[in-house]
Structure 1
Amino acid sequence: MSMWGEVVLVAVGGAIGTAARAGLTLALGDDLGPALVPLINVAGAFAIGILFGWRARMPESSRAQRAQLFLGTGVLGGFTTYSALAVESTDLALLWWGVATVIVGTAAAWAGVWLGRGKRAAR
């Protein structure tokens, strides 16, 4: 696949992920308020971790690379929204919220990688 084909995979995946995040924001934003952005980011980090752990078990192939570009960089990259978290964290009262989300998101990504690697990682 050409470089431009890979760019299209990321762009289409990003549009899907961004639309999913926007849909959740419209559906749940009033109910969850400022908790929604961190929840989306932590869930996305966990899913990215699973994808990367799963990818580590797979043999190198162009198909696996395209799946990672589409799902990881595109869909999940568009779904997570650290830029919105950064904007919310400009309110100094919510700065701790941003820091905590990054820490919990990193832990979720590690857990996802561990889960995605499965039993082979234990050997």
Structure 2
Amino acid sequence: SLGKVIVTGLGFVTRMAEYMVAADVLVSKAGPGTISEAAAVSLPVMLTSFLPGQEEGNVDYVIDGGFGAYCADTDPIGIGEEVCMWLHDPAKLEMLSNAAKAKGVPNAARDIAQQIGD
């Protein structure tokens, strides 16, 4: 047995950045903003759903980028098992986190706004 892992499910929150910085893993649908925010704070991502066409490529981006995986939301046991493996393997979690950091662009919005203003 891998042991117990504390999971906290949240509804809509207004302080997402604070939660992401405090989290070890993000479990989410494949929204581009969410993925970008997670990468910006070096947060590994377990994707559980995507909008066909619109978000499909985001799944590949995360997997190919090495900072997460996909397991359908119809398989909650599979999601739990994979995330538990990450959480109980510090080397794996660090590898995922480093890969997220490599893909992240923490100040992207500010940089774009500055370029537009120049």
Higher helix share: 1
Question: What is the TM-score when the length of structure 1 is the normalising length?
Answer: 0.24
Question: What is the TM-score when the length of structure 2 is the normalising length?
Answer: 0.24
From the CA coordinates, give the structure whose radius of gyration is larger: 1
